Chain A
Amino acid sequence: MNSQVVLTALGQVSGTVFWMFVGFMLIEVSIWAVGNKVLKNKNTLVAMLVTPAFVGLGLLLVFPLIYEVVLAFSNMNLYHFRNPEFSLLNGLDNFKRVFTKPVLQSTTFVPVLLRTFLWTSQVFIHASFGMLLAMLLNRPGLKFKNVYRAILILPWAMPQVISALTWRSEFNFEYGFPNILLNRIGLPGIQWKADAVWNFIAMVLTNVWLGIPFMMVISLGGLQSISAEFYEAADMDGASGWTKFQNITLPLMKPVLAPSVMLGIIWTFNNFNIPYFINEMKLESSEILVTALFRAAFNFSQYGFSAAFALIIFALLFSMTLVYVKWTGALKGVTD
Chain B
Amino acid sequence: MKKIGHQDPLWVKAIIHALLITACLITIYPILRIMTISLRPGDRLMSTSLAIIPPDATFLNYKAALFEKDFLLWLWNSLVITLATAVIGLSLASTSAYAISRWKFPGRNAMLIFLLGTQMIPAAMLMVPLYLLAAKFGLINTYRGLVIAYSVSAVPFSIWILKGYYDSIPTTLEEAAMIDGASRMYTFWKIILPLTTPALAIAFLFNFMNSWNEFMLARIMLPKAGMFTWPLGLQSLQGQFTTQWGVYAASSMMISVPVVALFLYSSKWLVNGLTAGSVKG
Contact = CB atoms under 8 A, between A and B. Distances in A.
A13 B144 contact: yes
A175 B46 contact: yes
Contacts of B87: 17
A175 B48 CA distance: 6
Contact of A64 (B28, B48, B129, B281): B129
B7 A141 contact: yes
B226 to A, nearest CB: 7
A228 interface: yes
Interface string B117-128: 011111111111
Contact of A68 (B128, B159, B272): B128
A50 to B, nearest CB: 4
B255 A231 contact: no
A154 B133 contact: no
Interface string A166-182: 11111000110100110
Interface residues of B, number: 113
Contacts of B205: none
A256 to B, nearest CB: 6
Interface stretch (A85-93, A103-111, A307-315): A307-315
For A14, A153, A311, which residue has the most chain B Cβ atoms within 10 angstroms? A153
A157 B264 contact: yes
B172 interface: no
A177 B105 CA distance: 58
A250 to B, nearest CB: 15
A237 B118 CA distance: 47
Nearest to B152: A56
The main secondary structure of chain B at its interface with chain A is: helix
B273 to A, nearest CB: 11
A266 B118 CA distance: 12
B9 to A, nearest CB: 11
B129 A53 contact: no
A235 B142 CA distance: 65
A207 to B, nearest CB: 13
A46 B31 contact: no
B188 to A, nearest CB: 9
Contacts of A43: 103, 105-106
B126 A61 contact: yes
A65 B125 CA distance: 8
Contact of A136 (B16, B81, B103): B16
Given A10-B80, A141-B4, 16 more contacts: A20-B88, A46-B103, A57-B156, A60-B153, A64-B126, A140-B4, A151-B28, A154-B27, A154-B31, A166-B33, A177-B29, A218-B275, A221-B275, A270-B122, A293-B122, A310-B124
5 contacts: A60-B149, A139-B13, A157-B259, A307-B128, A317-B122
